[in-house]
């Protein structure tokens, strides 16, 4: 089995961070989002990976080439972002027959993947949600998928498509994608993978669903911080003693980071070369070479090489006074 991971998107919702790095390489809980995804699927025995790159694709290639030398990676360039269906369509030259796992490059999904592998039926990863109209949705009858619809006004169920697909009939997937792209069939302006799956259903592919336990989006600042908390809670982080500072676990601190006279944690992820001096930082992500000094940070994302500089205050407060500082 091989995996296809599309990471060509621009990541507009994660700006300004994605001005300088592709979304897949934004740090969360100690490593890039793409690192978490690869580490989830490699234990399934996957060695062949197809990455659809586009926006800052060179950086994705350098990261994967360095950090995952044992993987056999085929890179496909998506010059124009015409939708997820288009991204997968472009991989057709790289992919042979046999089952294929498709995983979105901005979502960390936790599930019992072992029950997915080796199955003889195409499976769509789903999770029950409160607002299904915001997602692709499946309608299920007798345990089988009856229909799929992208962001429906009137959802047929509350089972959202989470961005994890196990495709058994790979040739039929490419046949459907080719018809969608070459026939210029767009929904909401894009070539949708959901539309291709719908065509597969119409052409006789039997599909089931696969319930995922955790669905952790990294596409927006608030969801990225939420995913950071979840992943650190799950792994326990790597918090070690730092002389002269206090670490409140769970945290992930790169060994090359410099931390002095500070309180770090809980739920802080600090990337390589970052510096924190005289500060209190919790529930935050500091990307590589970020510098934080004399600051109180909560719920914050600090980009690569960014500098945050606060000040200690000098006060001369009389007896029985009451002062509230900052907001
Ligand atoms: P999103 O819909 O989140 O798009 O794509 P995006 O560009 O990454 O982010 P926003 O909406 O601008 O903030 C979901 C996944 O599908 C990939 C993205 O890279 C992301 O991993 N994708 C999407 C492609 O590779 N190509 C496309 O044409 C569309």
Q: 219-235, pLDDT tens digit by residue?
A: 999 999 999 999 999 99
Residue identifier of the C-alpha nearest atom 21 of ligand 1: 105
Task: In the chain, list all ranges with CATH 2.160.10.10.
Answer: 237-324
Residues lower than pLDDT 50 in the chain: none
Q: Please give the angle made by the CA atoms of 190, 188 and 222, to the nearest 5 degrees.
A: 90
CA dist., res. 42 & res. 58, Å (int): 22
Query: CB of 136 closer than 6 A to ligand 1?
Result: no
Q: How far is the CA of 265 from the centre of ligand 1 (A)?
A: 31
For residues 170, 174, 176, 177, the Cα torsion angle rounded to the nearest 10 degrees is 130
Q: Which residue has the tokens 């739920």?
A: 267
Number of CB atoms found within 10 A of residue 77's CB = 11
Question: Which atom of ligand 1 is nearest the CA belonging to 7?
Answer: 19
pLDDT digits (tens, 9 = 90+) for 261-283: 999 999 999 999 999 999 999 99
CA dist., res. 179 & res. 184, Å (int): 8
Q: Decide which of 3.90.550.10, 3.40.50.920, 3.30.9.10, 3.40.50.2300 is the CATH code for 2-217.
A: 3.90.550.10
Query: CB of 17 closer than 6 A to ligand 1?
Result: no
pLDDT of amino acid 327: 62
Q: Please give the angle made by the CA atoms of 93, 108 and 188, to the nearest 5 degrees.
A: 60
Which of 6, 7, 8, 9 for a ligand 1 pocket mutation test, highest count of atoms within 8 Å of Cβ?
Answer: 9
Signed CA dihedral, 70, 238, 252, 225: sign only:
positive
CA dist., res. 105 & res. 85, Å (int): 14
Residue identifier of the C-alpha nearest atom 2 of ligand 1: 9
Question: Which atom of ligand 1 is nearest the CA belonging to 190?
Answer: 28
Q: How far is the CA of 11 from the centre of ligand 1 (A)?
A: 6
Residue identifier of the C-alpha nearest atom 27 of ligand 1: 83
Closest CA to 233 of 252, 246, 218: 252
Q: How far is the CA of 7 from the centre of ligand 1 (A)?
A: 7
Q: How far is the CA of 325 from the centre of ligand 1 (A)?
A: 42
Report DSSP state, residue 43.
Answer: G
pLDDT of amino acid 117: 76
| Residues ≥6 apart with Cβ < 8 Å to 128 | 158, 159, 160
Closest CA to 198 of 165, 234, 239, 221: 165
Query: CB of 22 closer than 6 A to ligand 1?
Result: no
Consecutive H or E run containing 63: helix 57-67
Closest CA to 74 of 44, 101, 94, 56: 94
pLDDT of amino acid 144: 93
Query: CB of 125 closer than 6 A to ligand 1?
Result: no
Render the burial of 185-194: b for 16+ CB within 10 Å, e for the rest: ebbeebbbbb
Q: How many CA atoms lie within 13 A of 285 on its CB side?
A: 25
Q: Whole-prediction pTM value?
A: 0.92
Query: CB of 12 closer than 6 A to ligand 1?
Result: yes
pLDDT of amino acid 120: 87
Query: CB of 127 closer than 6 A to ligand 1?
Result: no
End-to-end CA distance of the chain: 53
Q: In a 10 Å sphere around its CB, with 0-12 CB exposed, 13-18 middle and 19+ buried, how is residue 22 labelled?
A: buried
Residue identifier of the C-alpha nearest atom 5 of ligand 1: 9
Closest CA to 163 of 62, 54, 21, 40: 40
What would the two tokens of residue 171 be?
């040739």
Residue 247, strand partner residues: 264
**Which CATH class, in words, describes the domain spanning 237-324?**
mainly beta
């Amino acid at each position: 089995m091989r995996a296809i991971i599309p990471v060509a998107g621009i990541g507009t919702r994660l700006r300004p961070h994605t001005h300088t790095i592709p979304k897949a390489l934004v740090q969360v809980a100690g490593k890039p989002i793409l690192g978490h995804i690869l580490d989830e699927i490699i234990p399934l025995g996957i060695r062949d990976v197809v990455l659809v790159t586009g926006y800052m694709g060179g950086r994705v290639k350098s990261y994967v080439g360095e950090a995952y030398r044992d993987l056999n990676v085929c890179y496909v360039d998506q010059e124009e972002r015409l939708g997820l269906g288009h991204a997968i369509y472009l991989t057709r030259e790289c992919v042979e027959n046999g089952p294929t796992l498709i995983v979105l490059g901005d979502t960390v999904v936790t599930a019992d993947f072992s029950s997915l592998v080796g199955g003889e039926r195409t499976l769509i990863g789903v999770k029950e949600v409160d607002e299904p109209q915001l997602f692709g949705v499946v309608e299920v009858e007798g345990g089988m998928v009856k229909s799929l619809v992208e962001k429906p006004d009137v959802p047929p169920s509350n089972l959202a498509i989470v961005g994890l697909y196990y495709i058994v009939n790979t040739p039929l997937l490419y046949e459907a994608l080719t018809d969608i792209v070459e026939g210029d069939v767009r929904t909401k302006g894009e070539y949708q993978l959901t539309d291709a799956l719908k065509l597969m259903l119409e052409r006789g592919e039997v599909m089931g669903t696969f319930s995922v336990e955790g669905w952790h989006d990294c596409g927006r600042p608030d969801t990225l911080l939420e995913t950071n908390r979840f992943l650190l809670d799950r792994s326990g982080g790597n918090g070690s003693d730092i002389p002269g500072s206090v670490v409140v676990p769970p945290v992930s601190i790169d060994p090359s980071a410099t931390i002095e006279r500070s309180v770090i944690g809980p739920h802080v992820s600090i990337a390589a070369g970052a510096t924190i001096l005289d500060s209190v930082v919790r529930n935050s992500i500091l990307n590589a070479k970020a510098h934080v000094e004399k600051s109180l940070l909560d719920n914050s994302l600090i980009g690569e090489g960014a500098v945050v500089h606060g000040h200690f205050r000098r006060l001369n407060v009389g007896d029985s006074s009451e002062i509230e500082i900052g907001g």
